Structure 1
Amino acid sequence: MLANLGGKLVPSTALEALRVDQNATGYLAHVALPEGGFVIGETTGIDQITIDGTDTSVQTGVDGALRLYYRSRSQQSTYEAWRILDDTETLDFNGKIAVIGFSVNGAEKTYDTIVGPLPSGAIVSEAIDQIASDTFLVRPAWASNAEQGVLLIVGAILIILIMQTRAIWGFLFLLASISAGSYGAWFLFDTEGWLIDPTLPTIALAFIFITTAIVNRFRIEAEVRFVENQMTRRLSTSTLSKIIRRPRLLPEHGSLRNVTSLVVGLRGFNVIADRYLEDPIAYADILNRFFTPLTKTVHDRSGMVDRYMGDTLLAIWNAPLNVQNHAMKACDAALRMREQLDSLNEFLEEDAKRQNLSHIPLSVSIGVETGSAIVGNMGATQRYDYGVLGEPISIARYLRSHAIDYGPAVIVGDGFKDAVGDKFALLEVDLVSTPRHPDGWRAYALLGDSIVRASPKFRALEDGHRQLFDAYRNQRWSAARESLAHCRGLNGAIPTLYDFYEGRIRQLEKEPPGENWNGSYYAGRF
């Protein structure tokens, strides 16, 4: 509205026409300055020009420019010059400002506007009309900062949403944000005449969405590959699918979880191994025949096969995913494992006949314990290796290695008994002390389910063992031997266990344990 020509401020045609029309003498330019000389978030400059001595003022941008609010072509008041010169038509211009357009040979220069090409006179008349009617389009000084602030906040939320959830939710949020921003900009334009530009934030948000979605896709694929590398052979297909959908279920660092550990190995495998040392294919085939049904048993009961060690398998329940009644599922798996050597023994028997060797049937030793363990990366920084360590694993390994001394295939610990309660037939076989548990923890033989537990045969055997250990732990060796003899005559007796305690009693008679002995066997640290 004001131009600097040769150091002088020259008003625009529209502004000067209004000044002359109102017999005013000059103009007042209002400049917005920051308080204290410092401002954040606003642009300083001219914000209003007033015709001195009148109520007419023009709201401008900081550069003094007037943003025109064009009317449609049908609303514009335009008259051809010949109509003014024609005496037959009376035109009333009283109280109005007429803008006469200039043309050369009837062709006036036009300027492109949002309503189409317009001559300069029409543009000036639009400005005069707009000022006279006090209708202005204003871009607030804070508009740019508001647009950038909205872009920053919405962009941050969009990134977090995409990275933490699925891209579809980010896309829906993007659509909602763009729709809300566009409607808000139009609403402010329609009601207040404010010019808020949603275009740049929309383009920027679309770019943020595309970039973040691509980066997140690469991240998800990397996490899926990581999960598959770690868990494909450890978990069942259904459990693996759950972790692939939520890879963060695998902790990057160690954490405590209550787990049930099962360690199963072969009894008598050393003899079989010696026969096949020079035939590695057959040796590996035997182990594959052993581990394959056991692995399926673990997977079918929501367990994880943590690793294979020689002829031993370590399975974990309740890691990495929560498993309801994990101790009972491990117990059910252990009972089924006892029955899964038939096909392997049939194969070994046929192969022994082929080689004219005696057949040595294989059986399993299983240790099970429940308790708190550390789960997470048990490898190196360079090579992540998900694993489980802790007392339940150590005790299960100890029980597995000593199950051959106790006799029954499945031996469980105190923690497991506390977890399953009275739902299984558990028969006490030992009291084992360690540096961490000087008073000892009890070991039990798992003989069957609740039906076995309710049978009279098991009840009689349980009473016999109670009498045996009462005499044994009170160092009444004669009474203990009598109880051993009594137990041998019961249905379901465990001869291997009783032979084992006969040997212990003989050793303790030679080397008395002392008056403060509680009947535990000191196993040391393991």
Structure 2
Amino acid sequence: MIGGGLFLRYLDPWFVEFVRVKAFDAYNRMEPREPDPAARVVPGAKVVIVDIDEKSLARIGQWPWPRTVVADLIAALRDYGVGVIGFDVVFAEPDRTSPGRIAETLRGAGPEVTGQLKALPSNEEVMAETMRTMRVVMGQASSNSAAVTAPTETAKYTSVRAHLGTLGATDTDPRQYLFRKPTLVHNLEVLEGSASGLGFFSVEEEVDGVVRRVPLVMEIAGVVKPTLSVEMLRVGFSGNSIVTVVDPGGMHEIRLQTPGGNFPIPVDGRGRLWVYYAEPDNFNTPNNSGRLYISAADILDGTVPKERLQGTLALVGTSAVGLLDIRATPIEPRLPGVEVHANILENILEQNFVRYPFTMVLWEMIAIFVAGVALIVFVPRVGPVVTLAGLLVAGGGIAATSWYLFIEEKIFLDVSYPAGMVFAVYAVLAFSNYARDAAEKRQVRGAFSQYLSPDLVEQLAENPDQLRLGGETKKMTLLFCDVRGFTTISESFRADPQGLTRLINRLLTPLTNEILTRQGTIDKYMGDCIMAFWNAPLEDERQEAHACEAALAMFASLEALNEERRKEAEEGGFTFLPLNIGIGINTGECVVGNMGSDQRFDYSVLGDAVNLASRLEGQSKSYGVGTVIGDGTAASVRDELPVAELDLIAVKGKTEAVRIFTILGGPELREGADFATLLADHDAMLAAYRAKRFDEAEALIGRCEGQLDGVLDGFYAIYRERIAIFREEPPPEDWDGVFIATSK
């Protein structure tokens, strides 16, 4: 469960992210940003919102206003000494009140009147002329609609776009991490041609509709564009480039470079800024006494004190509800969209950000792992109640640390998902603990109710530890032996089940004798399978050698048995089906002792080494050999027996690769020159194969085949097949030669 929780956090699906961002919202509400003009990178830099509010609509008329009125607003802001203007609105369509447009709609006017009207400049031209006297950044809106036309980038802005570069992993294309939109709602060309900069003002709402992370850079219609806020800073401070800092995991910073210095902006992997919101400004204050909002009507009337606007970064937007630019944010469920951009500008100017670096993700996963392991250790030992108390204390400490990091370091450490995951693990463990206790009590009552008094039964039920069985951990060698093709053999005895039983007994008896003769212990019979082990209950200093010698002797006994059965078949005139076996041997640490239920137990062995021995037996047929032994066994017997390596394999049920070997024969074979020759060629073939030198490996296979009477020819045939497959589908560059087993 812990692994699943960690994997889920790594995948980070929407519901995990949903819990995290809600935690961020809570932190932002409890500790909102305190605007501090004195702490800004550029001394005296201020942000204001030129508000197209209800008062302005009542004073001037419904939106959209004639472009000549907008031109007057730009001129008024210029005269007030505003540093840069950014429009959080888009002028996508021609003004219907332009003289030429009016001339087209007049009825009964003579040619002289209409000609005079058409000769006048359009309202857009008037606005564009005024824009050329002021630093103006035009806003654009991204769109998913295929009906929206793509923007025409003029040469003036192509150079600006070229400044969007990357630092860090310079061979990593930053575009792969950006949000993409197919089309753009852009301004009329005459207006964009007169602007000092262009920036998109679209914000990406999250799964819950809240605006808390805003892309600062986005690819729209194939063009990488900065957001309105960043472009206003670039234009306002004569910046020459906007640079993304990228590493293989994604973006982590965007830098605005200006003659007066750089503005580093921390972002998430997709170029989004976690907006750190201040308390909402009141846009209905009398006499424009709020922190941000100034009515556009008052600016046009000239009633605003000059010092209120001089040198500011002015965002032109709307708080009017009817104009549909109201957003849900962590700090306020109904906030004018233009105030989102104002918060971004203040974040950057004050360098006051909430950061969520990737290291925090690692700490969250570490917390889940450590707490989960602690629960696994403590719940069964000290009980759920004491563990819960400790969990609450530890959880409170982590929550306090998270809060400290937020208010002091402005680092967001999410504790919501780790807390939920840890308590889920606790619930499962607590339930399992109670269920196990209840099951033990039921088992004791059922087992002893006929033999003990009710009082004693209840005592045993309340203290089942009195019946626990013990064991010891020690190094052991395990052997598994199984009959190959047993299904086919058993089908031939369908009409004679007693005959099948006699055959199995006839097989298992000599095989068992070979094990017992060499100090082995028979653990159990599982149908046609034998499980045996060495070094318990008696110590055996040559446990690995005895197990391997038993395997060789078992094949010799099997050969003798098959010869007897062949003669019997010839004499009796029935079909002879030879018996074949596969053997797996492995050495490792195991737990051995009396194991089973409280009513019936066996002297048996458990451990990962046991499972691996069973898997090795299953692979003997796959490698065309009779016996497969593990690395530890081979290391102990290679000086006594002829051992050859087979493969690096990840057996089914294990992720780590193990090195496996086979035994070619008895000690006399190891001393011969033929074995040394074969072993040299064999090892060279494996080295060439793992180095992906398949031609060389295949040539060495040709040299090995037939040696020692072809004892490994079946094995080499398998490698020829692998090489043929790899020639058609080459392994990946990081392939380490490990074969992944798909069957037991």
TM-score by length of 1: 0.49
Which has the larger Rg? 1
Question: More relative contact order in 1 or in 2 (CA 8 Å, sep 6+)?
Answer: 2
